[in-house]
Structure formats: structure tokens, C-alpha cells
Structure 1
Amino acid sequence: MKIAEVGNIVEFKEGLQGVVEKVNENSVIVDLTIMDNFHDLEMEEKTVVNHKKYKILSQF
């Protein structure tokens, strides 16, 4: 399992995408505001995602 790094874009939960802001031991904190439809989703700006639950889309 490859662990995301700060700045990576990850996808999780049926298509949600975000930029990794912090890497923890078992999870990452993701900023969701990069999605075009973010305001329509009525979600918090940031969320926590377990390393086992995301796929890395782009790396820096």
C-alpha cells in the first residue's frame, strides 16, 4: 500500500477528491475544496481518510 504525501490528490468514497494537507500514522487530512461541485455537496472543507480507503490520483 502506497501512502499519500502532502500535496497529492486522492480519491475516496465513490468519487470525492481532495488535496492531502497532513499525513498521520493511519490516515490523511484532505482538503475537499478543489472539487468543482464542493459547494453543492454541503460538506466540511476538510476530512480524515484512512490510508486503506483512498487511491492516489496525482503525485508531486
Structure 2
Amino acid sequence: MFTPDKKIAQPGNIVEFERNDIMFKGKVIPSQCQRSVIVDLTIMDNLDEIDFEFDRTVVAHENYRIIS
């Protein structure tokens, strides 16, 4: 089971999150969002295999955990 943490990610951090029972990992990019972050998913090796329409997505602070 995925458990998000309470930390707020900064641009450059690598975060992971779950969406539709799939684990995603990406790099936080600069934005003006206050309650979420924009995550660049192109660092994922298997992004092409996952049928996800976009290479960036918005993730609320309470839905991710920082991994580096």
C-alpha cells in the first residue's frame, strides 16, 4: 500500500505517487502551484509501456512522497 509523506517537494526533487493502481516517479519542475506540484514523468524508463497520455502531471502535496 502506498503511503505519502508530509514533506513538501521542491523543484528538482524526485517524487513517487500512485494513480489508477500504477506507481509513477518523476522530477518536480518549477511552478506557481500552492497546493500541488508539477511532475515531469520522462525520467521513468517504462513510461511508454504505461498508457499515460502526458509526460507531465499535477500531483497534490498529500498524494506523493519524496524519494530524493
Fold shared by both chains (TM-score > 0.5): yes
Instruction: From 15, 30, 33, give the equivalent of 1:22.
Output: 30
More strand by share: 1
Deviation for aligned residue 1:2: 1.4
CA contact (8 A) 1:11 1:57 kept: yes
Ranges in structure 2 where 5+ consecutive residues have no aligned partner: 1-5
- Where in structure 1 do 4 or more consecutive aligned residues deviate above 3 Å? none
Q: For 1:1-60, what aligned pairs fall within 5 Å after superposition?
A: 1-13=6-18, 14-23=22-31, 24-43=33-52, 44-58=54-68
Q: Secondary structure at the match of 1:38?
A: coil
Q: Percent identity?
A: 50
Taking structure 2 as the reference length, the TM-score comes to 0.78
Count of aligned residue pairs for this structure pair = 58
Taking structure 1 as the reference length, the TM-score comes to 0.88
1:4-40, Cα deviation, whole Å (9 max, x unpaired): 0000000000521000013420000000010110111
Alpha-carbon RMSD: 1.2
